[in-house]
């Protein structure tokens, strides 16, 4: 398989058909368009189609576009449409796709068959795009098993949301990036992608959503050479004080802190100074400093700032 540059686009070509000519005809077309061969594998797509689907040409090439952009429930119907177009029995139809961002679209397409000897190709033009409304963002906890495929590709094999009202169908059978872009928006996914690509065995990342006060914890672990389990957990930022309190309680028990020392520790973590703590607890500032010194010693912290490292 060779790569030929046509205008400002790169297209995949085969030696048994003049794909360059077809590519040149599509290079300046403003409608989204793609071309599949007799095996329904994608050979090239123009810039509007690549932008619409949100995938690179490498991800879409060959049968990859069917795995990435067509839901399992729709693949039989899509296969029938493409087969009819390749036989010259259909010139139009409805092509359901899902974008990298998880949008489900229905493309009203026109079909044009190209013949070069025994080789066949089908040019697919999107005359209309329907159902472009963004899917609502799933915010609940979920886990999914991701399958590693040849050529570095990955697809979601199984997916379950903690909230049964969230439908996982749109994300099963497609690359996990669509799910991660929605549920883990804002997280640093580089370590997670390293696990998906087989360059690391485990990763975990935490981010705080800008749209809502929700911590998103994304973890990925390789179950074996072919499967990676990805978990996404959502924790309200409003629970952070309670989470710190729970950690403080455990540290207090394991380190032998007295009740008063535990109170001082909690207030120190909330940024209170010696005078404030003295007023709140109704004890002398010198007594506060005494308890503070005991807390630092028992927890093995060098300073008040170092307490954050120990506790968090």
157, 220: one domain: yes
Residues 8, 113: one domain?
Answer: yes
168 occurs within a structural domain: yes
The two tokens of residue 181 are 């872009």
Q: How many domains does the chain have?
A: 3
39-88 pLDDT tens trace:
888 887 888 888 898 888 777 877 778 888 888 778 888 988 998 998 88
> b or e along 52-87 (b: 16 or more beta carbons within 10 Å of the residue's beta carbon)?
bbbbebebbbbebbbbbbbbeebeeebeebbeebbe
CA distance 292 to 82: 74
Mean pLDDT score, 248-276 = 87
CATH number at residue 261: 1.10.10.10
Question: Does 247 map to a domain?
Answer: no
Give yes or no for residue 135 having a pLDDT over 60. no
**Residue % of the chain over a pLDDT of 70:** 85
User: Is 242 a member of any domain?
Assistant: no
Residue 134 has pLDDT above 60, yes or no: no
- Which domain-ending residue is among 204, 237, 270? 237
Q: What is the pLDDT of residue 14?
A: 37
Q: Could you tell me which residue, 271 or 197, shows the higher pLDDT?
A: 197
Shared domain check, 120 and 146: no
The angle that helices 285-299 and 304-311 make with each other, rounded to 10 degrees, is 40
Query: What DSSP letter does each residue of 46-70 carry, written as one string?
Result: -HHHHHHHT--HHHHTBTHHHHHHS
* Global model pTM greater than 0.75: no
The CA-atom distances, in angstroms, between 305 and each of 239, 263, 268 are 22, 17, 9
Q: Is 244 within the bounds of a domain?
A: no
Are residues 104 and 156 part of one domain?
no
Confidence label for 26 from pLDDT (cuts 50, 70 and 90): low
Judged against a pLDDT cut of 70, whether residue 129 lies above it is answered with: yes
Residue-averaged pLDDT of the chain: 81
11, pLDDT greater than 60: no
Which residues form the domain of 66? 2-130
Tell me, yes or no, whether 147 and 66 share the same domain: no
Bridge-partner residues for 122, per DSSP? Answer: 36, 113
Q: Which pair of tokens denotes residue 262?
A: 């535990």
Q: Would you place residue 202 in the very low, low, confident or very high pLDDT band (cuts 50, 70, 90)?
A: very high
Same domain, 113 and 158: no
Contacts of 215 (CB under 8 A, 6+ apart): 206, 207, 208, 209, 234, 235, 236, 237, 240
d(CA 94, CA 110): 9
pLDDT for 86-110, tens place per residue? 888 999 999 999 888 778 898 999 9
Same domain, 95 and 146: no
Residue 245 within any structural domain of the chain? no
Is residue 8 included in any domain, yes or no? yes
Q: How confident is the model at residue 256 (pLDDT cuts 50, 70, 90)?
A: very high
Give yes or no: residues 218 and 164 share one domain: yes
Residues 148 and 172 in one domain: yes
HSE-up of 66 (CA within 13 Å, CB side)? 21
Structure tokens at 239: 């629970």
Residue where a domain terminates, one of 130, 153, 187:
130
Mean pLDDT of the region 233-259: 83
Instruction: Determine the pLDDT at residue 229.
Output: 96
Cβ atoms within 10 Å, residue 44: 28
Q: Which residue has the higher pLDDT, 101 or 29?
A: 101
In a shared domain, residues 77 and 52: yes
> Which of 172, 207, 237 lies at the terminal end of a domain, its last residue?
237
Q: Average pLDDT of 282-301?
A: 92
Q: Tell me if 264 sits within 8 A of 281, measured CB to CB.
A: yes
Tell me the CATH number at 25. 3.30.450.20
Work out the angle at residue 189's Cα, subtended by the Cα atoms of residues 185 and 190, and round it to the nearest 5 degrees.
155
Higher pLDDT: 137 or 287? It is 287
230 in a domain, yes or no?
A: yes
Instruction: Let me know whether 14 and 115 are in one domain.
Output: yes
Statement to judge: residues 305 and 202 lie in one domain: no
């Amino acid at each position: 398989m060779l790569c030929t540059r046509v205008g400002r686009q790169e297209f995949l070509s085969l030696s048994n058909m003049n794909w360059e000519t077809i590519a040149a005809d599509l290079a300046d077309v403003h409608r989204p368009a793609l071309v599949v061969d007799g095996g329904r594998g994608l050979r090239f797509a123009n810039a509007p189609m690549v932008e619409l689907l949100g995938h690179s040409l490498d991800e879409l090439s060959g049968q990859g576009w069917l795995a990435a952009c067509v839901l399992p429930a729709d693949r039989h119907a899509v296969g029938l449409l493409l087969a009819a177009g390749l036989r010259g029995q259909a010139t139009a139809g409805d092509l359901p796709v899902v974008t990298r961002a998880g949008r489900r679209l229905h493309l009203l397409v026109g079909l044009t068959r190209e013949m070069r000897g025994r080789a066949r190709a089908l040019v697919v033009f999107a005359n209309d795009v329907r159902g472009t409304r963004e899917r609502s963002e799933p915010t609940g906890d979920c886990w999914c098993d991701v399958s590693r495929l040849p050529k570095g590709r990955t697809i979601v094999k199984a997916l379950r949301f903690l909230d049964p009202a969230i439908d996982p169908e749109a994300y099963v059978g497609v690359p996990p990036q669509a799910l991660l872009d929605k549920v883990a928006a804002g997280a640093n996914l580089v370590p997670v992608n390293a696990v998906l690509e087989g360059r690391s065995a485990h990763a975990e990342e935490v981010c705080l959503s800008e749209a809502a006060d929700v911590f998103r914890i994304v973890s990925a672990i390789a179950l074996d050479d072919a499967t990676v389990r990805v978990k996404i957990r959502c924790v309200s930022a409003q629970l952070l004080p309670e989470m710190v309190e729970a950690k403080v309680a455990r540290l207090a028990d394991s380190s032998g802190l007295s009740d008063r020392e535990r109170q001082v520790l909690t207030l120190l973590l909330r940024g209170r100074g010696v005078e404030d703590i003295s007023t709140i607890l109704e004890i002398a500032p010198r007594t506060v400093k005494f308890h503070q010194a005991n807390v630092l010693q028992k927890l093995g912290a060098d300073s008040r700032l170092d307490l954050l490292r120990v506790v968090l």
